[in-house]
Amino acid sequence: MHGLTADVLKILGPLRNAGEIGCDLLVCPPFTQIAAAAALLAGSRIAVGGQDCHPGKQGPHTGDISAEMLRDAGAAWVILGHSERRRDHGETDELVRQKVIAAQEAGLTPIVCVGETEEQRLSGRETEVVGWQISGSLPQDFAGVISYEPVWAIGTGRTPTENDVAVMHAFIREELVRQFMERGRGVRILYGGSVKPSNARALLAVPEVGGVLVGGASLNSSDFLAIAGAAR
């Protein structure tokens, strides 16, 4: 929940004018700025997405936005099941699954977030929690991206060790293959959780890390570009 129109221009302008970035780059601004972002980035290789969507196509759901509305505004992607949505709005795995279905039907590519809290990790249940999230949040025809975000690292400045990330990403790959067989091998797995220019290259070098979901650092275009540069 950051950014007015002036902020979008300030952040995205340098990205638009950065030339060849050398990696897949996606920005997901607030709903009110999706159309402006899509217009600014038109003709570039930078994609635009939304931060959430409702599972229904339309109806009496004041304050919500449908996947088709996101598409109409210029989005091609959507983040679903982010830990802050699960925490602040009590979103369940089943609700996330319904949203994934709606997104795919509207032609959007979903990025589904999974991850454990600090209490769940300390009690040794991190893989159990993430396994259930994957099973409950993804439909059988899933055609999107997974993002592992250790909830305890988001916004805290704390980052799991590279070994922690490797173990969890390997587990997520195993779960995807178990659930989707060979199709599960092709699903991209992102890492999200206090990603910064200083740690991006090391995180991206971890096996099964196919990209990063950037939080606070995305509000600074130079930091965001530095992270993108680490992905080359």
- List active site positions: 82, 149
DSSP state of 148: E
Burial class of residue 43 (count of CB atoms within 10 Å of its CB; 0-12, 13-18, 19+): exposed
Nearest-10 Cα torsion for 195, 201, 205, 211: 50
DSSP state of 221: H
217: number of Cβ within 10 Å? 18
Q: Cα(178)–Cα(185) distance, rounded to whole angstroms?
A: 10
Instruction: Please give the full DSSP string across 16-64, using - where no structure is assigned.
Output: HTS----S-EEE---GGGHHHHHHHHTTSSEEEEES--BSSSSSS-TT-
Query: Is the separation of the CB atoms in 192 and 113 below 8 Å?
Result: yes
Query: Is the separation of the CB atoms in 51 and 31 below 8 Å?
Result: yes
Element (H, E) at 147: strand 145-148
DSSP state of 176: H
